[in-house]
Amino acid sequence: MRNISIAVTFLVLSTCAAAEGRDGFFGELFEPWPDLHGSPCGTPYTHALNVEPAYLDRDLLIDYRVGNGIDGEADEQELEFELEWALSKRLGLIIGCPVISTDPFDGPTETGVGDLALGTRMLLVNWNRLLLSAILEVETPTGDAARGLGNGETAIAPTAAWWLDLGGWLVFQGQFGPEIKLESGETELLYRFALTKSWQGPVYFHCGSCRRRSHHGRADRADDHHHGAPTHHGPGLITLYLEPLGTSNLTDADEGTRFDMTTGIGYALTDKLELRTAVRFPLYRPSSLDSQFIFSLLRHF
């Protein structure tokens, strides 16, 4: 089952890359990143809370998560730093590092660095309303598993991610693929979805360096466009997040399948800084967690 899921994922991705052709994917593989934060249709690229985006960007995410009843064993606080850096129009890097404080129900509190994550993102399909990317993430065992701060082994996650513009600044994003622990062979199938709705709200924080935006969030000046796409969306952008998340254990039937839901809201303080808050709660197999509260800061470069 694990090999089949990997083969299907990469068959779809390679087919989509071939569909782009020499003048699309291969022609733009090493072209400079165009510094765009929205589609040619003017729809903002909104970074989901739990789903890796299909688009390429240069962002720093700082997430503070407070979880209760994680796996029915502990309460947990996590401060994660994730840097996403576009190298070209089609290639990007991902680096993530968490600091974890876990409070087991039957043991002492432990605090330290968790597992370091390194990844690459390759944009295979770049259409006006549809983006499709291949993501390969490697999680290294830098966290102390004996203290509950890591998995204790290297894991890889080859996934496909998409971004679909439904119109009216309503976007459907998703990520699908296996996560494989290399030593034990334990494999989980990840399927994550995000429905986001954005609109231009009131501006409460004024900054002299912020570009003025129109009612639709586009730049007022023609030189801020690249084929109709805004370089940045202005302050006051509001986004609602609805994210159903699922995992299915393919090697241990007792673990089965888990579902949970994240709902949240984000507000752009400036054209480069966004604050977000959300709550995550279980839908199926509530032993996975009781609740989790998320506070996030997103910095665009």
The DSSP H or E segment spanning 187 is strand 187-200
In this predicted model, what pLDDT tens digit does every residue of 114-160 receive, in sequence order?
A: 999 999 999 999 999 999 999 999 999 999 998 889 889 999 999 99
- Residue 167 CB-density burial (10 A; 0-12 exposed, 13-18 middle, 19+ buried): exposed
Number of residues written out for the chain: 301
Write down the pLDDT at residue 7: 52
What value does the mean pLDDT take over residues 180-207?
91
What is the 8-class DSSP label of residue 215? T
Please provide residue 44's backbone torsions phi and psi, each rounded to the nearest 5 degrees: -70, 145
What is the 8-class DSSP label of residue 203? -
What value does the mean pLDDT take over residues 212-232?
46
The answer to whether the CB of 51 falls within 8 A of the CB of 193 is: yes
Task: Check pLDDT > 80 for residue 207.
Answer: no
Counting the structural domains of the chain, the total is: 1
Task: Check pLDDT > 50 for residue 224.
Answer: no
| Band (26; pLDDT cuts 50, 70, 90) | confident
Task: Check pLDDT > 90 for residue 4.
Answer: no
What value does the mean pLDDT take over residues 203-210?
68
Give the whole-angstrom CA distance, residue 66 versus residue 70: 10
Write down the pLDDT at residue 138: 97
The DSSP H or E segment spanning 20 is helix 2-20
Cα of 110 vs its chain's centroid, Å = 27
Task: Print burial letters for 237-250: b (CB count within 10 Å at least 16), e (below 16).
Answer: bebebebbbbbbeb
Task: Check pLDDT > 70 for residue 223.
Answer: no
What value does the mean pLDDT take over residues 263-285?
94
Write down the pLDDT at residue 216: 43
Global confidence as pTM: 0.86
| Band (213; pLDDT cuts 50, 70, 90) | very low
The answer to whether the CB of 211 falls within 8 A of the CB of 234 is: yes
Extract the tokens encoding 230: 């805004």
More confident residue, 256 or 55: 55
CATH code, 65 = 2.40.160.40
| Band (43; pLDDT cuts 50, 70, 90) | very high
More confident residue, 217 or 173: 173
What value does the mean pLDDT take over residues 222-238?
64
Q: Tell me which residue has tokens 């998320």.
A: 294
Write down the pLDDT at residue 255: 77
Please provide residue 36's backbone torsions phi and psi, each rounded to the nearest 5 degrees: -110, 145
Extract the tokens encoding 3: 């090999």
Write down the pLDDT at residue 219: 39
What value does the mean pLDDT take over residues 8-19?
54
The answer to whether the CB of 51 falls within 8 A of the CB of 173 is: yes
Among the listed residues 73, 81, 117, 84, the one whose alpha carbon sits nearest the alpha carbon of residue 99: 81
Which structural domain, as residue segments, surrounds residue 66?
Answer: 2-300
Write down the pLDDT at residue 16: 58
Would strands 155-167 and 130-140 be described as parallel, antiparallel, or unpaired? antiparallel
In this predicted model, what pLDDT tens digit does every residue of 82-121 receive, in sequence order?
A: 999 999 999 999 999 999 999 998 889 999 999 999 999 9
